[in-house]
């Protein structure tokens, strides 16, 4: 295998939570015009974890179909991206490794840089496969987006996990060189260790996103990347789906092109179908946009797709990929739609109860009520140890 041989996403699967809060329910509670949610931020609903769900259980639900299809023998690395980690030391992926029955001859690492972490994991996986094309890397991005009740960020919450199998000769998408990169020290969004919810400066975050987009696009073109017109679609990180539209309009302005609404809709609309009902899933968001595009587009064979990954604080990366012939035979469209449709709607009281639920810190034994119907659940916190069980 040469340095130029194809490496990319061989399989892709996502999962979400047991419950959903519709934005109409939230709007009725807080007295907001529903248009502010449906049109203003582009959100219809948001996934809410059950008491026994977290980033690990969602990751297992996302990855299990991949290991069932492809087996586990060639997976020697698991890269777990998250910004809602459950432990300051132990990687969440180790629980996933155990629950999926992966071989002991594997490395497991957790990665963090806000919502950019999933792309960092993907690019590291490509490097590992390039070094040894016989290996496959399981990349997982899993997050629960959570803000304080009655805060401006509350309607942009959500939760989901994406699992991707990165391999040589991929069946879905070849990842291309080069990448455009950008880093700047910005306090637009952060979560100190002593807080369970994030802090965000909404205006600053939008500004930082657009500056990072502009900077990474400049670097991408300087590195010899594709011209803007080559791309059939763009998958943006979507903290709320209207942000993708703001970002692409900004990119068109930077490139001196017309901001034709029909053209913007053509390259973005199919990427937002899932995120508009899942809400923000942080590291998973851009790859759920990819799943949405592949599941809804008529045919993207040999077409180029652009990726704009942004993580507050901030790091951004732009890169391209080409859709592989025959990719539609490998899609998980039915499973993705079932994951969304099976969610049970919450009333406002139950949602707020789940939102405020937390474990005591006394080191005792604290069982968790059974609520999820997923393949794995959080069983208990026992002397500060998280215990999981599979169905």
What does the pLDDT look like over 87-126, one tens digit per residue? 999 999 999 999 999 999 999 999 999 999 999 999 999 9
Give me the catalytic one of 97, 115, 176, 250: 115
Cis check: omega of the bond before 159, within 30 degrees of 0: no
Mean pLDDT for 265-292 is: 98
Q: What's the mean per-residue pLDDT of the chain?
A: 97
Annotated active-site residue 70? The verdict is no
**Mean pLDDT along residues 289-303:** 98
Please identify which of the residues 10, 97, 237, 336 carries the catalytic annotation: 237
Mean pLDDT of 15-39: 98
Task: Please count the structural domains in the chain.
Answer: 1
- Residue 260 three-state SS: coil
Domain span at residue 92?
7-390
The answer to whether 227 touches 251, Cβ cutoff 8 Å, is no
Stretch 163-182: mean pLDDT: 98
User: Does 3 have pLDDT greater than 70?
Assistant: no
CA distance 364 to 121: 35
In a domain, 1, yes or no: no
Q: Is the pLDDT of residue 4 over 70?
A: no
Residue at 109 is within a domain: yes
Residue 194 has pLDDT above 60, yes or no: yes
For the cut 90, the answer to whether the pLDDT of residue 151 exceeds it is yes
pLDDT at 1 over 70: no
> Percentage of the chain with pLDDT > 70?
99
In the predicted model, is pLDDT for residue 391 greater than 90? no
Res. 129 pLDDT band, cuts 50 70 90: very high
Give pLDDT, residue 150.
Answer: 97
In this predicted structure, the answer to whether residue 200 has a pLDDT above a threshold of 70 is yes
Q: In the prediction, which pLDDT does 5 show? A: 81
Q: pTM to 2 decimals?
A: 0.97
Does residue 211 fall inside a structural domain?
yes
Average pLDDT on 211-224 reads 98
Residue 51 lies in a domain: yes
pLDDT tens per residue across span 130-145: 999 999 999 999 999 9
∠209-212-215 over CA atoms, to 5°? 150
Distance CA 62, CA 225 (A): 32
Q: Is residue 379 part of a domain?
A: yes
Q: What is the pLDDT of residue 286?
A: 98
**For residues 225-244, average pLDDT:** 98
Joined tokens for residue 232 = 């059939």
Beta partners for 14?
162
What is the per-residue pLDDT for 171?
Answer: 98
Task: State the CATH number of the domain containing residue 70.
Answer: 3.40.47.10
pLDDT for the residue 327: 98
Per-residue pLDDT at 94: 98
- The reported pLDDT for the residue numbered 136 is 98
In a domain, 160, yes or no: yes
Say if residue 217's pLDDT is above 60: yes
Active-site residue, 83 included: yes
Catalytic residue selected from 18, 53, 83, 317 = 83
Q: Judge whether 2 lies within some domain.
A: no
Q: What letters, b where the CB count within 10 A reaches 16 and e where it falls short, cover 79-110?
A: bbbbbbbbeeeebbbbbbbebbebeeebebeb
Sign of CA dihedral 371, 373, 378, 380: positive
Q: Is residue 86 part of a domain?
A: yes
Mean pLDDT of 265-280: 98
């Amino acid at each position: 295998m040469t340095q130029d041989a194809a490496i990319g996403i061989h399989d892709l699967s996502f999962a979400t939570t047991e419950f959903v809060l519709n934005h109409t329910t939230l709007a009725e509670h807080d007295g907001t015009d529903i248009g502010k949610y449906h049109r203003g931020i582009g959100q219809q609903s948001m996934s809410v974890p059950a008491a026994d769900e977290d980033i690990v259980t969602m990751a297992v639900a996302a990855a299990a179909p991949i290991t069932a299809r492809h087996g586990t023998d060639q997976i020697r690395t698991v890269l777990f991206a998250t910004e809602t980690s459950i432990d300051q030391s132990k990687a969440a992926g180790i629980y996933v490794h155990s629950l999926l029955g992966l071989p002991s001859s594997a490395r497991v690492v957790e990665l963090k840089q806000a919502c950019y972490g999933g792309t960092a994991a993907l690019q590291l996986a490509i490097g590992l496969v390039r070094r040894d094309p016989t290996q496959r890397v399981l990349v997982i991005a899993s997050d629960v987006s959570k803000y304080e009740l009655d805060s401006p960020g509350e309607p942009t919450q959500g939760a989901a996990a994406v699992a991707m199998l990165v391999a040589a000769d991929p069946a879905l998408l070849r990842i291309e060189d080069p990448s455009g990169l950008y880093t700047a020290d910005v306090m637009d969004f952060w979560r100190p260790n002593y807080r369970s919810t994030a802090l965000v400066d909404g205006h600053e975050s939008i500004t930082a996103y657009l500056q990072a987009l502009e900077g990474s696009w400049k670097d991408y073109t300087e590195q010899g990347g594709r011209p803007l017109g080559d791309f059939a679609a763009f998958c943006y990180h979507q903290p709320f789906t209207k942000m993708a539209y703001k970002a692409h309009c900004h990119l068109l302005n930077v490139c001196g092109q017309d901001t034709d609404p029909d053209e913007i809709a053509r390259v973005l609309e199919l990427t937002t179908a899932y995120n508009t009902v899942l809400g923000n899933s942080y590291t998973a968001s851009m790859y759920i946009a990819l799943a949405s595009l592949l599941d809804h587009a008529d045919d993207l064979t040999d077409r180029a797709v652009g990726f704009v990954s942004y993580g507050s604080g901030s790091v951004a990366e732009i890169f391209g990929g080409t859709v592989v012939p025959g990719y539609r035979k490998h899609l998980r469209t039915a499973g993705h739609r079932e994951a969304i449709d099976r969610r049970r709607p919450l009333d406002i009281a139950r949602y707020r109860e789940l939102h405020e639920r937390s474990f005591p810190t006394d080191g005792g034994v604290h069982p968790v009520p059974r609520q999820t119907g997923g393949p794995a659940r959080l069983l208990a916190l026992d002397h500060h140890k998280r215990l999981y069980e599979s169905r």
